[in-house]
Amino acid sequence: SMSAIFGGRSYTPLAQRTTEKWNSVVDCLPSVFLVDFEFGCCTSYMLPELQDGLSFHVSIARDDTIYILGGHSLQNNTRCPNLYKLKVDLPLGSPSVTCTILPGGISVSSAIVTQISDTEFVLVGGYHSDNEKRLVCNTIVLEDSKIKIVERESPEWTPDIKHCRIWFGCDMGKGSVLLGIPGANKQLISDANYFYILRCKGEEEDKEEELTTQICSQTSSEDPGDSTPFEDSEEFSFSAETSSFDIDDTDTYNE
């Protein structure tokens, strides 16, 4: 079995660091790495279609094809509407990777993808810019080696979600997304985070999304000095694979 790695950030090389920017990060080179777990080896590929390093993009894999959507380039401080199709061929001998630039991408970073059927996904959350959240949702359909992205009806976001500057979350599996906002936005408990569960529906279901809420405080008795803060970014990135989705699986949560 193999896995593909693309994007991310790394610390600035030691020779280029300054006192003021000692812990700063830079975009990784836009290389694609294929990791072979059976033989314990890794091969890197530089593809001409991939010119800029990316982070906080969305990736969806189906069979031997990987789609990369959106993302943020630290060097240019842009969220270009990227949509790449990576095709991995595994013949006898050395594997090969090809990249195709597709139209119809979306300018977004730190979005969340959840799978609602064998071929259908929902894109939720993320950012248009550093100060603007993306409240629009999209349906992504993978069929016949093609990808289709269409806008779908967004849920009735609560005023707290609409007006907060930061949000974060993850895919809970089977069409459910966990969304969190800092407690400071609600001006109640500043050191608590408030969480919402968004349940997305498929084509055969009622398209109205269900948004439920629960409150979870993250207060801790630990000394803050013992924790390592996230100094370089307030964004998160998540991905999904179609092979990890099992309609018959009765488990309600997949990590």
Tell me the per-residue pLDDT of 104-150, one tens digit each, with 9 for 90 and over: 999 999 999 999 999 999 999 999 999 899 999 999 999 988 999 99
What average pLDDT does the chain have?
83
pLDDT of the residue at 214: 59
Average of pLDDT values for 56-61?
A: 96
| Rounded-to-integer distance, Cα 33 and Cα 46, Å | 9
Give the domain ranges of the chain. 1-109, 110-246
Lowest mean pLDDT across 165-169, 194-198, 208-212, 218-222: 218-222
pLDDT of the residue at 171: 97
pTM of the model: 0.79
